[in-house]
Amino acid sequence: MKQLSFGGDEVIFREGEFALTMYQIESGSVGIYANYDSADARLLAKLGKGEYFGEMGLAECYPRSATAVALEANTTLDEIDSNEFASFFEDNPDTVLAIMRSLSERLRETNERYLEARQAVHDAIEAEIAGTEKSSSLVGKLTNMLRFARRSEKKASDRS
């Protein structure tokens, strides 16, 4: 395992990059962003000491799904590469369980948002085909989705 240090606002990895590493935060904090270098940038999560990130790229060998940025000066990370991956997990079963729970929570939230968005789009199409105005229930669903998205963003920015 290699220890790395980052300054505040320093990019650790970028969305779309291929890498076979994951990280544990030893000190400081890390922001996980979608569309980091654009006007549409969104903070997805704020992670602190003891938390892991980057495990998806390591486990799947897919490009990074988000950009990770050190939020504080002197953010220190332990880097776990593909050669250390199996032995790290064998030696740290509690960590494996914590990572699995975190991935499960993220997947559940994503599934819920997807199903809500899918239903809202379906309702809008049905209303358009029927030639009716969008119903108050559709407006309500869209409003609730927006509230959920805002709460998720606030939760991500409040976490440390």
Which residues touch 18 (CB under 8 Å, ≥6 apart)? Answer: 57, 61, 62, 63, 64
pLDDT at 160: 44
| Orientation of helix 93-130 relative to helix 82-91, angle to 10° | 110
Q: Domain 2-91 carries which CATH code?
A: 2.60.120.10
Tell me the whole-structure pTM to 2 decimals: 0.69
Q: How confident is the model at residue 8 (pLDDT cuts 50, 70, 90)?
A: very high
pLDDT (tens digit per residue) in 20-35:
899 999 999 999 999 9
C-alpha–C-alpha distance, residues 133 and 73, integer Å: 52
Q: Side chain identity at 42, as an amino acid letter?
A: R
In terms of pLDDT, which residue wins out, 148 or 53?
53
- Closest residue by Cα to residue 99 from 132, 55, 139, 63: 55
C-alpha–C-alpha distance, residues 37 and 35, integer Å: 6
- Closest residue by Cα to residue 68 from 38, 29, 115, 39: 29
Output the furthest CA–CA distance in the chain (Å, rounded). Answer: 61
Residue 153 pLDDT > 60, yes or no?
yes
DSSP helix/strand/coil, 70: strand
- Closest residue by Cα to residue 7 from 79, 67, 74: 74
Mean pLDDT, the chain, integer: 84
